[in-house]
Amino acid sequence: MSARQKLGGMGGNLLAWGYALIILGPMVWILSNSFKRQIDILMGTTIAPITLANYHQIINSRQSHFLWNLWNSAIVSVVSTLLVLIIATVAAFTLARLQPPRWVSFILLGWALVFHMLPTLTFVGSWYVMFTEVGLHGTYTALILAQVVQGLPMALFLMIGFVMNIPKELVQAARLDGCTYPQVFRHLILPLSLGGMAAAGALTFISAWSDFAVALNLSNKDTMTAPVAIATFAQEHQILYGQMAAASMLSMLPALAFIMFGQRFVVRGLLAGAVK
Amino acid sequence: MAHLELQKVAKSYGAVEVIPGVDFEINSGEFLVLVGPSGSGKSTLLKMIAGLEETTSGKILVDGQDITHLDPSARDLAMVFQSYALYPHMTVRDNMSFALRMRGEDPAVIDQRVREAVAMLDLGGLEDRKPGQLSGGQRQRVAMGRCVVRNPKLFLFDEPLSNLDAKLRAQTRIEIRRLHERLKATSIFVTHDQVEAMTMADRIALLKDGKLQQIGSPQDLYLRPRNTFVATFIGTPEMNLLAGRLQMAEGHFHIGGMRLPASAGQQSRLSVACHSGTAVMVGVRPEHFAIVLNTTPGALQVTVNVTEWLGHEIFIFGQSDLGSISVRVPEGLETTPAQGDVLSILPIADRWHVFDAGSSENVLLD
Each residue's pLDDT tens digit, B89-120: 999 999 999 999 999 999 999 999 999 999 99
Instruction: Give chain B's mean pLDDT.
Output: 93
Residue B297 preceded by cis peptide, ω within 30: no
- Model pLDDT, residue A46: 82
pLDDT above 90: residue A39: no
In 3D space, the residue among B43, B115, B114 whose CA is nearest the CA of residue B79 turns out to be B43
* CA atoms of A133 and A238, how far apart (whole Å): 36
Q: Residue A210: inside a domain, yes or no?
A: yes
- Do residues A209 and A82 share a domain? yes
Polymer length in residues for chain B: 366
* CA atoms of A161 and A274, how far apart (whole Å): 9
- Do residues A239 and A188 share a domain? yes
Range of the domain at A28: 3-34
Residue B62 sits at the chain A interface (C-beta within 8 Å): no
Q: Residue A40: inside a domain, yes or no?
A: no
Residue B51 sits at the chain A interface (C-beta within 8 Å): yes
pLDDT tens digits, A146-188:
999 999 999 999 999 999 989 999 999 999 999 999 999 999 9
Residue B78 sits at the chain A interface (C-beta within 8 Å): yes
- Per the DSSP assignment, residues forming a β-bridge with B61 are B5, B66
Contact B89 A173 (CB under 8 A): no
Which pLDDT band holds residue B124 (cuts at 50, 70, 90)? Answer: very high
* CA atoms of A216 and A234, how far apart (whole Å): 14
CATH of the domain at A125: 1.10.3720.10
Chain A nearest C-alpha distance from B138 (Å): 18
- Do residues A83 and A24 share a domain? no
pLDDT above 60: residue B36: yes
pLDDT tens digits, A246-272:
999 999 888 788 777 777 666 665 555
**In A, what residues contact B, Cβ < 8 A?**
167, 169-170, 172-180, 183, 187-188, 191-192
For B:318-337, CB contacts with A below 8 A are none
Contact B50 A176 (CB under 8 A): yes
Cβ–Cβ under 8 Å, residues A51 and A35:
yes
Name all contacts of B332-335 with Cβ < 8 Å and 24+ positions apart: B333/B291
Q: Residue A46: inside a domain, yes or no?
A: no
Name the residue in chain A with its Cα closest to that of B84.
Answer: A169
Cβ–Cβ under 8 Å, residues B363 and B280:
yes
Burial (0-12, 13-18, 19+ Cβ within 10 Å), B333: exposed
- Do residues A10 and A83 share a domain? no
**Domains of chain B with bracketed CATH:** 4-233 (3.40.50.300), 240-356 (2.40.50.140)
- Do residues A20 and A82 share a domain? no
Cβ–Cβ under 8 Å, residues A199 and A262:
yes
- Kindly list the residues from chain B whose CB atom is less than 8 angstroms away from the CB atom of residue A191: 89
What share of chain B in percent tops pLDDT 90?
Answer: 86
Residue B77 sits at the chain A interface (C-beta within 8 Å): yes
Of A170, A178, A188, the CB nearest to B99: A178
pLDDT tens digits, A111-136:
888 888 888 888 899 999 999 999 99
ipTM comes to 0.87
The number of domains in chain A is 2
pLDDT tens digits, B188-198:
999 999 999 99
